[in-house]
Amino acid sequence: MPAVVARGLRKTYGDVVAVEEVDLTVDEGEVVALLGPNGAGKTTTVELLEGHRTPDAGEVRVLGHDPRTGGRAFRERIGVVLQEAGFEELFTPRELVRLHAGYYPAPRAVDDVLALVGLEDKADARVRTLSGGQRRRLDLGLGIVGNPEMLFLDEPTTGFDPSARRRAWDLVDALRGLGATILLTTHYLDEAEHLADRLVVVDRGRVVATGTPEQLAAAAGLATVVSFRLPGGASAGDLPALGDGVRVSGAVVEVRTRTATADVAALAAWAVARGSELEALTVARPTLEDVYLDLVEEATGP
């Protein structure tokens, strides 16, 4: 059974259509990243799945529960890191983690949580003295203290310094290793690429694409580029049949192709047969940023 099944989810705030129609499935143990421009409806989607908001239309099941009516049995099985959380400023991280541990039947040990999010040194400092990134780590700690089967992370590493981000990634990887299902939102494409099994691109309240970065690139029709320098004495007409578009500029050949493996094999065989070296040979795939911008620009189009 998938951990999340949402069909035809819709949520409006007055005249604003935050989520127009979202269909989403997350398998058990899968890590899925929601990507999309500001205001695309990512947070609202996550809030609908967590049960913090009621959809105007559509159906949602998370771990087999309706999030709105699942009650304690549901809450005990999920962990939530919201985009903005308020803390009791006079408490310490240790006190807050201990307090939250009390809400769950099988919580993680308080010290383990503080160590996992890298707050050992600040465990007994008052929250009001923590930096923004340290507060965000505390958010993350409170999200995982209950040992959740399903974790919702809304922009979990915003404000983190690079080493804290790397540590948070390690934490998510570790949780994945323990079998947790994770749905996260992020604006960091490298984070999505590093953490997620699958990306879901949301724009204007709809899912516009889903898949691995490679699948998204293929669906967007962005080809791989194979480029090399023509060996001395050879002309473009001597080359084997290659890819979709062969562009020759001076001695440099660029091939846009969706069959890069076969093309590189054909090229290598051709070069070896004539005893040449293919100088400056590169095979580059479009970056996730190329793919993302292509998808989002297309969806928001002129």
Ligand X SMILES: Nc1ncnc2c1ncn2[C@@H]1O[C@H](COP(=O)(O)OP(=O)(O)OP(=O)(O)O)[C@@H](O)[C@H]1O
Nearer to ligand X, 253 or 288 (CB): 288
Q: How far is the CB of 146 from ligand X (least distance, A)?
A: 24
User: Which residue stretches of 178-212 are H helix?
Assistant: 189-195
Q: How far is the CB of 47 from ligand X (least distance, A)?
A: 8
Nearer to ligand X, 122 or 198 (CB): 198
**Residues 186 and 35: beta-carbon distance below 8 Å:** yes
Q: How far is the CB of 160 from ligand X (least distance, A)?
A: 16
Give dist(CA 63, CA 67) in Å, integer: 9
Q: Which residues of 201-225 are buried (b: 16+ CB within 10 A; e: fewer)?
A: bbbbbbbbbbbebeebbbebebbbb
Closest CA to 9 of 54, 40, 64: 54
Nearer to ligand X, 16 or 272 (CB): 16
Nearer to ligand X, 199 or 278 (CB): 199
Give dist(CA 90, CA 69) in Å, integer: 33
Give me the DSSP letters along 112-171. Answer: HHHHHTT-GGGTTS-GGGS-HHHHHHHHHHHHHTT--SEEEEESTTTT--HHHHHHHHHH
Q: How far is the CB of 200 from ligand X (least distance, A)?
A: 12
Q: How far is CA 41 from CA 10, 188, 206, 219, 220, in A?
A: 10, 17, 8, 22, 22
Cα dihedral 93, 98, 104, 106 sign: positive
Q: How far is the CB of 44 from ligand X (least distance, A)?
A: 3
Place of tokens 């490679």: 214
Nearer to ligand X, 49 or 239 (CB): 49
Binding footprint of ligand X on the chain (CB under 6 A): 13, 16, 18, 36, 38-44
Residue 50 is encoded by which pair of tokens? 């967590």
Q: How far is the CB of 53 from ligand X (least distance, A)?
A: 8
Give dist(CA 123, CA 126) in Å, integer: 8
Q: How far is the CB of 41 from ligand X (least distance, A)?
A: 4
Nearer to ligand X, 54 or 261 (CB): 54
Q: How far is the CB of 48 from ligand X (least distance, A)?
A: 9
**Residues 73 and 65: beta-carbon distance below 8 Å:** yes
Cα dihedral 283, 288, 289, 295 sign: positive
Nearer to ligand X, 15 or 106 (CB): 15
Nearer to ligand X, 41 or 93 (CB): 41
